[in-house]
Structure 1
Amino acid sequence: MTLQHDGFSPYVIAQAVAQGLLVRVRRVWVALPGADRELVSAARDGVVLSCITQARRLGLWVLREPEYHVAVSPHGRGGTPDGIVVHWADAVVPRHPDALVDPVENVLALVAACQPHEAAMTIWESALRQGLVERAALMRLPLPRRARRILERAVPFAGSGLETLFSIRLRWLRVRILPQIWILGHRVDFLIGERLVVQIDGGHHVGSQRTSDIAHDAALMAAGYHVIRLSYEQIIDDWPTVQDMIARAVAAGLHLAA
């Protein structure tokens, strides 16, 4: 419909489709050849990309996305294709009739309702950290109860979703855990108590970055800090071992100043 509003007649559009310049997606939808497949699918099904699918497209920290998640489009009641999760909840922010992707505020609201708490928190904190949303603006919206509870706890300081998971999973420990603290000229991921440093390695910790990390670890230990370095696989696939390691370090007083 946008093309017609811009002055292109149905005949001209049909000719462009016949010549292969456009592809007919749906009765009032056309696309360029090679257009984004996810957007084309959304237009075909009459839905908008949302929840963890749109969170992933926005570059937010999504742990897993086993299925596409969409919301019902305002320009038609979409179907429910196999393998796709369709959200029918009211939008927090009104969607434009031609929208194929949800505004980030709607994405976060659906994430809060759909995902387990840890997974939802990683996405919310990622959005805050990247500046895609502001806490004050979110507070003014009519967020559902679960989304508002997540907003009350979410902070923009975690360097990645791994750090969000680490913080959430160790809240029971009842010791001070500070994220993203500068020590000896470098930022550390976590400082537990006064002396226990935890560093979490992502995919970028290779080459010169890895060399710098090792040098900083040595400087920290020389200054009396205890350093524990963890990998993605340890956080995601072997959390009980990580938790036990941190708990034993605290029990041994490694987090206390000498």
Structure 2
Amino acid sequence: MDICDYLARRGGAARSGELQKAGFTRTRVARAVALGLLVRVRRGVYALPGETLVAGVLAAGGRLTCLSAAPVYRLWTLNEPSGLHLSRSHPTRMPGVVDHGRPKHPRHQWLPVLGLADVLLHALHCLPELEALVMVQSAVGAGDVALDFLYGRCQGRRNGRARSVLDLAIPRADSLLEVLANVHFARAGLRVRRHVFIPGVGEVDFLVEECLVVETDGSTHFEPKSIKRDQRRNNRSIIGGYLVLRYYYEDVIHRPEAMVAEVQAVLRVWRRPGNSGAGNLFA
């Protein structure tokens, strides 16, 4: 195998010991460096030109974890990591590096990344509540880890905050917008059912207080076909006696208080005398 192909499959960088185990001699590595095919990042660490993330991790002597490992496992995130979240055998102060504990579970087979279990446990103890929640929710929803497993690793008084985040996870969320909207609605004291099937409409994201359909729409809903489909679903929902509100990324992520306030305002209108409930608007 070509040494460049080998590195490309491993995130763009590797330690010299790994290269030797793969059959690439020191002479061959040195020749690749001389030809400009590889860059010697530091002693014992080589990378493809321009590959900085994995090379930086190896140079720092660690493995990615927490928010920095989310892209490897395709986990939902709210924010880009500021700096590197690493697990290092011998941590020393380095600018832009957040050090986490040593791994307690199997690591990634070939990338310098901790296993999913440790990544999530580190996130639960490091990140703000909702940032940790969306990472856990995406892993649980994909079936990559069991919620009970994470609870089992978060026992004791020191893990109370982590358990409170796990308590917010739901059996199914099709997007991070759903899981976050569910948290905001629940904390507002709203009675909510998720993924409710309404005849003639189909499945809706939320049915609030049995009268208000709330949909949380991601970027795919901006496609022309999706816009027409959603408008027709709105029409059928209203004909069936329901009110409808739709919210987007900016609403759920950056304006949750305004979103909840609008939902509560609509419910107050619905509860006025003369409104007899869902399904009876056209009776």
Please classify the TM superposition score into its range, dividing by the shorter chain length: 0.7 to 0.9
Match of 2:252 in 1: 235
Match of 2:5 in 1: none
Is the partner of 2:219 in helix, strand or coil?
Answer: coil
Relative to structure 1, the CA distance from residue 232 to residue 65 in structure 2 (aligned partners, 3 Å threshold; closer, same or farther) is same
Cα distance in 2 for partners of 1:60, 1:226 equals 33
Is the partner of 1:212 in helix, strand or coil?
Answer: helix
Cα distance in 2 for partners of 1:183, 1:196 equals 12
Cα distance in 1 for partners of 2:193, 2:104 equals 33
Note the alpha carbon deviations across 1:145-185, whole angstroms, 9 max, x for none.
Answer: 24344334312412211221111112133342122222235
Cα distance in 1 for partners of 2:173, 2:123 equals 18
Cα distance in 1 for partners of 2:109, 2:263 equals 51
Match of 1:166 in 2: 181
Match of 1:220 in 2: 237
Q: Which amino acid aligns with 1:150?
A: V
Cα distance in 2 for partners of 1:214, 1:162 equals 20
Q: How many residues are matched? A: 254
Q: Which amino acid aligns with 1:103?
A: G
Match of 1:250 in 2: 267
Match of 2:6 in 1: none
Cα distance in 2 for partners of 1:80, 1:88 equals 12
Cα distance in 2 for partners of 1:190, 1:6 equals 52
Relative to structure 1, the CA distance from residue 120 to residue 247 in structure 2 (aligned partners, 3 Å threshold; closer, same or farther) is same
**Corresponding position: 1:104 with 2:120:** no
1:131 to 111, 120, 143: 143
Let me know the Cα RMSD of the aligned residues.
2.6
Cα distance in 1 for partners of 2:109, 2:86 equals 13
Note the alpha carbon deviations across 1:178-201, whole angstroms, 9 max, x for none.
Answer: 222222352211111222100112
Q: Which amino acid aligns with 1:113?
A: H
**Corresponding position: 1:201 with 2:213:** no
Q: Normalising to structure 1: TM-score of the pair?
A: 0.85
Cα distance in 2 for partners of 1:224, 1:151 equals 36
Q: Which amino acid aligns with 1:89?
A: G
Is the partner of 1:153 in helix, strand or coil?
Answer: coil
Q: Normalising to structure 2: TM-score of the pair?
A: 0.78
Match of 1:42 in 2: 57
Cα distance in 2 for partners of 1:97, 1:157 equals 29
Relative to structure 1, the CA distance from residue 148 to residue 222 in structure 2 (aligned partners, 3 Å threshold; closer, same or farther) is same
**Aligned residues with identical type, % of pairs:** 31
Per the TM alignment, residue 90 of structure 1 is displaced from its structure 2 partner at its CA by 3.1
Q: Which amino acid aligns with 1:67?
A: S
Per the TM alignment, residue 3 of structure 1 is displaced from its structure 2 partner at its CA by 2.0
Q: Which amino acid aligns with 1:250?
A: L
Cα distance in 2 for partners of 1:80, 1:219 equals 59
Cα distance in 2 for partners of 1:57, 1:177 equals 33
**Corresponding position: 1:210 with 2:227:** yes
Indicate conservation of the 8 Å contact 1:22/1:31, yes or no: yes
Is the partner of 1:198 in helix, strand or coil?
Answer: strand
Structure 1: gaps spanning 5 or more residues:
none
Relative to structure 1, the CA distance from residue 4 to residue 142 in structure 2 (aligned partners, 3 Å threshold; closer, same or farther) is farther
Higher RCO (C-alpha under 8 Å, 6+ residues apart): 1
Note the alpha carbon deviations across 1:82-125, whole angstroms, 9 max, x for none.
Answer: 3x241232323244697412222121112111111122112211
